[in-house]
A and B are shown apart, each in its own frame.
Chain A
């Protein structure tokens, strides 16, 4: 067993039910999808899915082959980790009633190139984009103040350079 993280990029038809077909294949083979993002692609009528999953290479090879068989799936690729850029968006609502805490949160956010996108008497909401590891680092810092709510998109990814799928 060679367990590792895989980033699968799939170009699919942008229509109802496709997500269910794709997710079902993972589920059936006991693969947990860590994250999945779906959105429009460069081609009209087609969407791009980015799926992050942990698992055995051989099982994943089988899953990508099965994905390729789905009529609604145009292309699938298991992206190489080293030559792939991945970015995630995260919104964090931090408990920050006192001035001191607020300024600390704002400082941390700016170090991580995040932004404050909402303010209330009790809370600050930080928006941050980046590598999932970087986002995790900020979350770990902000935990000390108390995170009231957290929403992560999961990473979306694309190959470096001219390569496309």
Chain B
């Protein structure tokens, strides 16, 4: 067996039923071996899409997503995708070709120091020194990518190693004495957390992406019911707690729901699970949950105390820790914060964002999202791009189940939405997959329309087309005296014609009611489809300016039903500063 064959066998043995890749010179031996192997391979049209597709595959399925690219430029094209996966803790394995061992360091043709480049953006990376190391390396790579706080692993694969004969195929994990994630929470800390929760009168749960990764959604629901705590989520936590439940407050943060932002400000105990308190979630850190004792549960010790001061830190896996914690809360007298819970629910009904704009043309994004919600079911996987489209979706779209809302949170990678939808669809072909993108982000990756056509991957792309880099334009409008520097994208392309050039079904949507119909038809068609949805470029999502506390929401917060005077919130905001 040769090194390349060992790669293929190891990937299959680890359960990687499909990989996303793009061949090249230094991968000729591996691709020659893929040619008559059982490994399913999807040829993308840009390496960046291979990485994002692997990421989407991973987030939708919870399994490791694998992408392959050649050395040099192929490898560097993976970088954005690897960094995206790293920021959002997605288990991705990226295999990059490398020049033959004897040429490494010589600035050979298509050589790049992939190990050096990816150190800061991977969980770990490997370069096999001989082919015998490959089976163990892939096995350990998968274990590292998936366990603890998941993340990307890079395998830098020199050409000669792909061709080298193995003495023996031995798939034993490598000895890694420095890697032992701590999953069980410390009993003393859990006791302290239980005490803090019992004392609380106004508890709130903040549920992050870690809850989804650890499969702790049932525990979050149970905890919420047990202590009468309303639940808000981070962007990546969307879906960890059904947003159709009365106790769901939706997303927290810069573009969070009003009820979430104000309730977190008011609560006296914040149980934060599997989140990292990013600046987009907390706003001004000095103002964040300032009345609350914060209990922070996270599997990554480095996240504890990094951004906010915590009263009770617990290092451990979300599900495990919550299962340890709940029996302690059930002991002795029952917790009753029903009044608080009802008060928050009441407040929530007073500020449910308005979605219906039945008469507006150009379309309001709220109306489009309402129609998307009407057209899909709760098994549909939604992926978003980055910018206004993402925040509109995060704010207005109600996700009911884990792994059904996929978005680039930490890195904020434009061009993520479409290829991650490809990955999600490939991972879960039974689920409908809809990608909501902006016109800017979609254009960055539009070449992969070829991929969905060639492999007949029936994803539906909804391009929210306002001809602007909407989010940047929003900031220019709000904070830069409406000086719209280079954010207007002009009249080209015609997205319908663009899709049709790839043989992809496409339709333009301009009026209320059409999105729902077009999307239903697209899903029913079983074909990849692009919907070019023309939306109002002037619509702004209310936001908390950078540097401000979460209650300082600016912009008109349009609600379904307003009952003024019940709850006051601070407005207007301070002058924006910093980022």
Contacts and interface: CB of A to CB of B under 8 A. Distances in A.
A20 B119 contact: yes
Interface in A6-50: 12-13, 17, 20-21, 24, 28
Q: Which of A17, A69, A70, A75 has the most CB of B within 10 A?
A: A69
A68 interface: yes
Contacts of A71: 123-124, 144, 176, 178-179
Interface in B83-124: 115-116, 119-120, 123-124
Nearest to B148: A69
B300 interface: yes
A119 to B, nearest CB: 40
Contacts of A73: 178
Given A17-B115, A20-B119, A62 B179 contact: no
Given A17-B115, A65-B301, A24 B120 contact: yes
B301 A68 contact: yes
B302 interface: yes
Nearest to A12: B178
Interface string B16-44: 00000000000000000000000000000
A17 B177 CA distance: 17
Nearest to B125: A17
A69 B302 contact: yes
A43 to B, nearest CB: 9
Interface in B152-204: 176-179
Contacts of A83: none
A113 to B, nearest CB: 38
A40 B115 CA distance: 24
B101 to A, nearest CB: 13
Contacts of B116: 20
B306 interface: yes
Contacts of A74: 177-178
Contacts, number: 36
A66 interface: yes
A72 interface: yes
A24 B302 CA distance: 16
A58 to B, nearest CB: 8
B300 A69 contact: yes
Contacts of A62: 302, 306
A14 B444 CA distance: 43
B96 to A, nearest CB: 16
A72 B178 contact: yes
Nearest to A13: B178
Interface string A76-114: 000000000000000000000000000000000000000
A21 B119 contact: yes
A12 B306 CA distance: 24
A88 to B, nearest CB: 27
A13 B175 CA distance: 11
Nearest to B129: A16
A71 B174 CA distance: 11
A61 B179 CA distance: 19
B172 to A, nearest CB: 17
A70 B144 CA distance: 11
A28 B302 contact: no
A71 B306 CA distance: 20
A59 B573 CA distance: 31
Interface in A105-138: none
Contacts of B306: 62, 65
Given A24-B120, A28-B120, A65 B302 contact: yes
Interface string B525-560: 000000000000000000000000000000000000
Nearest to A75: B178
Contacts of B176: 71
A121 B301 CA distance: 59
A102 B124 CA distance: 54
Interface string B349-363: 000000000000000
Contacts of A68: 301-302
Nearest to B126: A71
Nearest to B123: A71
A70 B178 contact: yes
A16 to B, nearest CB: 9
Interface string B293-319: 000000011100110000000000000
Contacts of B177: 13, 74
Contacts of B305: 61
A28 B305 CA distance: 19
Contacts of A24: 119-120
B107 to A, nearest CB: 18
Nearest to A58: B305
Contacts of B115: 17
A23 to B, nearest CB: 10
Nearest to B115: A17
A41 to B, nearest CB: 12
Contacts of A13: 177-178
**Lowest 5 CB-CB distances: which A-B pairs, in order?**
A65-B302, A71-B124, A74-B178, A71-B179, A73-B178
15 contacts: A13-B177, A13-B178, A20-B116, A21-B119, A24-B120, A65-B301, A65-B306, A66-B302, A70-B178, A71-B123, A71-B124, A71-B144, A71-B178, A73-B178, A74-B178
Given A17-B115, A61-B305, 15 more contacts: A12-B178, A13-B177, A21-B119, A28-B120, A65-B301, A66-B302, A68-B301, A68-B302, A69-B300, A69-B302, A70-B124, A71-B176, A71-B179, A74-B177, A74-B178
